[in-house]
């Protein structure tokens, strides 16, 4: 028979723990125990002591409360699954995809109809408002406690009016394709260029104010609103193969600055005016570039390689500075500002270390400086190095390389970007 142990716990009297004794018993500091008790709003007794239940609750949590939370989450999940089984909720991605196809067909019918331009624009503007209907319904079905959500209760059935918030609901994720199709249906007063909505009436008002008051800030606002349309035309016409994109934008903006005082709204809308100027300047630039190419042919590569270079063995600081300038001017495809800063840091590290360090050394240092994950730091290294090689591709001679030759080389991780 096992001998019954004799402890030092008194019978009939609950234990009362002071902070210093509780810290020694449970292996925690007095500061941490006092903070946990304060956060949990646990009150001491008259002698400034706490019970065992209070200490175990704040130190280890309450199993009963966790079970209640788990049961509540399971109830919410079952309600949602039952609603899906009863077809009370539709798959939003599939619905948006079907609506995009339907809207495309409706737009084609309207544009080919006998309605006048104003009537077509009115119908298409009403049709583009469908995006707000979907967004509003989605926000009112949301159970999360957020802006536009219903909180713990879903939306009530039709029959009882519910006051809606005047604040617009947030844009749902995954709806870009549908909204792009809807925006194409809008009137010419709201054209889209790379996600930018061009308000022709607002631009006309700004031009009118500038023609009256000659305020430079109005002119700057007009150029800012027109720049996305100019970039869209440059990229759609592929004119950047003849001239740099920034240079083309500067050429069009210079022409706009000179011609805006002569704009007349009676002859056309601001959208048509800006588009025509941009197209004319792009055509003139391309024509001039072609004439220069015919007049001054490029040096043959075979001949250039046979010409002796007297300064081949001289380390030219100007050439090094030019290469560093080209490397620092590379573009980033990342959207997060922290990742862009990490890529700028990588570029400066490439130049400082003269590309002598290995991939893991750059990536590990980037993890410590910008607190990136192991995988993301190496992805940013690969993307940055790939962009550097793309910019400097014409600066060196190249020979065909097979994947087998890259084994053990630092260029092996770049094989997955072969298609790019």
Whether the pLDDT of residue 111 is over 60: the answer is yes
* Number of neighbours of residue 242 by Cβ within 10 angstroms: 17
pLDDT of residue 305: 67
d(Cα 151, Cα 216) in Å, to the nearest integer?
48
The Cα–Cα gap between 3 and 192 comes to 86
Residue 203: enclosing H or E segment and its boundaries? helix 200-213
Residue-level pLDDT at 132: 62
Its pTM surpasses 0.85: no
Give 122-154 pLDDT, tens digit per residue. Answer: 777 777 666 666 666 666 666 555 444 444 454
Percent of the chain predicted with pLDDT > 90: 2
What crossing angle do the helices spanning 130-141 and 92-111 adopt, rounded to 10°? 170
Residues 6+ apart with CB under 8 A from 119: none
Residue reference for tokens 């007049």: 295
pLDDT band at 104 (very low <50, low <70, confident <90, very high): confident
Cα 20 to Cα 387: distance, rounded to the nearest angstrom: 60
Sign of CA dihedral 118, 119, 124, 127: positive
Query: How far is Cα 112 from Cα 348, in angstroms, rounded to an integer?
Result: 56
List the single range of 104-108, 178-182, 373-377 with lowest mean pLDDT: 178-182
Between these two residues, 325 and 419, which has the higher pLDDT value? 325
CA distance 343 to 377: 9
Q: Is the pLDDT of residue 313 over 60?
A: no
Given a cut of 60, is residue 163 above it in pLDDT? no
d(CA 346, CA 366): 8
Q: Which residues contact 253 (CB under 8 A, 6 or more apart)?
A: 223, 226, 227, 230
Instruction: Give the separation between CA 41 and CA 17, rounded to whole angstroms.
Output: 16
The H or E element containing residue 35 is helix 30-39
Higher pLDDT, 316 or 379: 379
Q: How confident is the model at residue 179 (pLDDT cuts 50, 70, 90)?
A: very low
Q: Give the Cα separation of 404 and 105 in Å (integer).
A: 51
Q: Which residues in 210-230 are b (16+ Cβ under 10 Å) and which e?
A: beeeeeeebbebbbebbbbbb
- Best-predicted range by mean pLDDT (294-298, 308-312, 350-354): 350-354
pLDDT (0 to 100) of residue 311: 53
CB atoms within 10 A of CB 390: 13
Distances (CA, A) of 91 to 84, 96, 282: 9, 9, 45
pLDDT at residue 308, rounded to an integer: 60
In sequence order, what are the beta bridge partners of 198?
Answer: 191
DSSP string, 226-288: HHHHHHHHHHHTTGGGTS-HHHHHHHHHHHHHHHGGG--TTT--HHHHHHHHHHHHHHHHHHH
At residue 198, what are phi and psi to the nearest 5 degrees? -90, 110
Average of pLDDT values for 44-48?
Answer: 85
Confidence at residue 244, expressed as pLDDT on a 0 to 100 scale: 86
Mean pLDDT rounded to a whole number for the chain: 76
**Alpha carbons within 13 A on the beta-carbon side of 346:** 33
pLDDT at 406 over 50: yes
């Amino acid at each position: 028979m096992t001998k019954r142990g004799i402890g030092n716990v008194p019978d009939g009297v609950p234990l009362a723990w002071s902070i210093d004794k509780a810290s020694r018993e449970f292996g925690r500091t007095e500061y941490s125990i006092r903070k946990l008790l304060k956060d949990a709003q646990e009150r001491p007794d008259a002698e400034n002591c706490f019970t065992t239940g209070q200490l175990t609750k704040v130190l280890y949590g309450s199993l009963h409360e966790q079970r209640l939370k788990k049961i509540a989450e399971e109830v919410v999940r079952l309600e949602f699954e039952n609603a899906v089984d009863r077809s009370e909720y539709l798959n939003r991605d599939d619905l948006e995809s079907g609506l995009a196809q339907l809207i495309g067909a409706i737009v084609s019918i309207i544009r080919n109809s006998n309605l006048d331009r104003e009537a077509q624009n009115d119908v298409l503007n009403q049709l583009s408002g469908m995006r707000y209907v979907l967004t509003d319904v989605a926000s009112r079905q949301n159970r999360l406690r957020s802006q536009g959500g219903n909180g713990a209760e879903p939306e009530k059935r039709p029959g009882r009016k519910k006051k809606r918030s005047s604040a617009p609901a947030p844009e749902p994720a995954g709806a870009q394709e549908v909204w792009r199709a809807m925006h194409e249906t809008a009137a010419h007063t709201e054209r889209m260029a790379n996600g930018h909505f061009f308000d022709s009436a607002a631009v006309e008002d700004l031009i009118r104010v500038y023609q009256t008051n000659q305020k430079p800030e109005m002119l700057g606002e007009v150029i800012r609103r027109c720049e996305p349309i100019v970039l869209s035309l440059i990229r759609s016409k592929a004119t950047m193969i003849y001239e740099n994109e920034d240079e083309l934008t500067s050429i069009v903006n210079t022409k706009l600055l000179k011609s805006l005082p002569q704009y007349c709204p009676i002859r056309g809308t601001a959208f048509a005016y800006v588009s025509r100027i941009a197209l004319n300047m792009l055509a003139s630039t391309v024509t001039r570039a072609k004439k220069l190419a015919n007049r001054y042919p490029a040096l043959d590569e075979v001949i250039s390689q046979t010409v002796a270079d007297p300064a081949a063995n001289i380390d030219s600081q100007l050439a090094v500075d030019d290469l560093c300038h080209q490397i620092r001017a590379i573009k980033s495809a990342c959207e997060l500002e922290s990742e862009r800063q990490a890529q700028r840091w990588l570029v400066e590290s490439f130049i400082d270390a003269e590309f002598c360090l290995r991939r893991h050394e750059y990536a590990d240092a980037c993890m410590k400086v910008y607190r990136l994950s192991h995988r993301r730091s190496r992805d940013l290294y690969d993307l940055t190095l790939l962009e550097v090689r793309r910019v400097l591709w014409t600066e060196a001679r190249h020979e065909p390389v097979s994947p087998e030759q890259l084994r053990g080389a630092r260029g092996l991780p770049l094989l997955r970007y072969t298609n790019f």
